[in-house]
Amino acid sequence: MSTSKKIHLIAFEPHLEFALNLDRNDPLAKYRTAFHIPKDEQGNDWLYFTGNSLGLQPKTTKSAIEQELNDWANLGVEGHFEAKNPWMPYHEFLTESMAKIMGAKPIEIVVMNTLTTNLHLLMVSFYNPTKKRHKILIESDAFPSDRYAVQTQLEFHGYDTNECLIEWTPRTDEKLLRTEDLEQILETQGEEIALLLIGGVNYYTGQYLDLKKIAALGHAKGCKVGIDLAHGAGNIQPELHDSGIDFAAWCTYKYLNAGPGSLGGVFVHERYAHDKTLKRFAGWWSQNKATRFNMRQPLDITPGAEGWQLSNPPILSMAAIKAALDLFNEVGMNKLREKSIKLTGYLEFLIKGLNHAQIEIITPSDSNQRGCQLSIQVKNANKDLHKKLTEQHVITDWREPDVIRCAPVPFYNSFEDVFRMVKILKTLLP
């Protein structure tokens, strides 16, 4: 919290030289060259602000994957044990770095599968409906994957989504969620709710919710609490262990820069690490490592989050993840978050300085309630402004009905990028 207070004392200025000076004094500026940045026809870097959708490729990714391809070519099956990075325990090479990013203990973390698959596997364990307690609560504008996963889980168990899917909704004429409204829902329906599954950073508004408060409210009513951190991993510091939530899942292709469709991450709180009574779907990789290759042993769940694995890891995807996590491990989330607060604050300052009636930032202004994404509502407009930005190689994304999402990523975006983006935006506004 002290970081954001210190950064807010900076007096931003709407001049290019000010942005260039911030870049000159940025200790993370050198990491921009660690990524491949797409270029236009003249060889100029795109202004790339969609790390919240697909992060850019680290330059080390190619060699990391080639290492595994070479070991496969040269070693065949022996690569499981003799490769430079042996494939058998490969997922373990990712655990410590991912745990640091997510604020978790290594026993609470595993990289496996993809996000929605992991949510379903976790709900097998943490959604245990009874006659009295069987409802699931989500935020009203949850990402479609979350909504569909919850809807089909309810239907699988024989419940009517119209009755059993509870929505935490912003107040009339408001866009952001209020924790006190969640508290009121739980006060009236908490005894019927089995699970809260909430997006920790909302994909549309960019609002970062108080995970610790949500966990406390849910647990006070006997509910399990799960968090989707697709838009939080590598962006904010969720401190998952201390938050007290039961489980979380996320992808690695956004802020974690691990490539399109790459594997996801899972957190299961340490209090469940040795609980073998939890229902779950299991596979070969759920089995105790000591007896995994003794094929005729009964199922003996391996402790911690690894006990939710099903199959041996896909090495080529994990190699890309390892290359990205090595960069995070080198820099650390504290420094990345510090720059992110400043970078997003500067973007907010410049956009507000336009003082244009057609655009409004709907993301919270408090840096403790957002990551690096700003959601810019374009009032009474269609997608044309976004299309014009794209034609100028300003890469943002559009979310219906009227929002341009813009995410300056501290690893590879500069203050000059932010200045130039807003300058172009100004020329395109009517």
List strands edge to edge, sheet with 165-168: 109-112, 264-268, 247-250, 224-228, 193-199, 135-139, 165-168
**How would you label 321-343 residue by residue, b for 16+ Cβ within 10 Å and e otherwise?**
bbbbbbbbeebebeebbbbbbbb
**At 207, which amino acid appears?**
Q
3-state secondary structure of 270: helix
3-state secondary structure of 392: coil
Rounded distance, CA 320 to CA 257, Å?
Answer: 8
Q: Average pLDDT per run of 10 along the chain, which is 430 residues long? A: 47 96 98 97 96 98 98 98 97 98 98 98 98 97 97 98 98 97 98 98 98 98 98 98 98 98 98 96 95 93 97 96 98 98 98 96 97 95 93 96 97 98 96
pLDDT of 9: 57
Which domains are delineated in the chain? Answer: 2-34+332-428 (3.90.1150.10), 66-329 (3.40.640.10)
3-state secondary structure of 368: helix
Rounded distance, CA 234 to CA 239, Å?
Answer: 12
Q: Is the pTM of this model over 0.85?
A: yes
pLDDT of 382: 85
**At 94, which amino acid appears?**
L
For CA atoms 243, 363, 366, 21, the dihedral sign is positive
pLDDT of 5: 40
pLDDT of 1: 34
How far out from the chain centre does Cα 116 lie?
13
3-state secondary structure of 360: strand
Report the DSSP pairing between strands 403-406 and 374-378: antiparallel
Rounded distance, CA 241 to CA 314, Å?
Answer: 27
**How would you label 132-154 residue by residue, b for 16+ Cβ within 10 Å and e otherwise?**
ebbbbbbbebbbebbbebbbebb
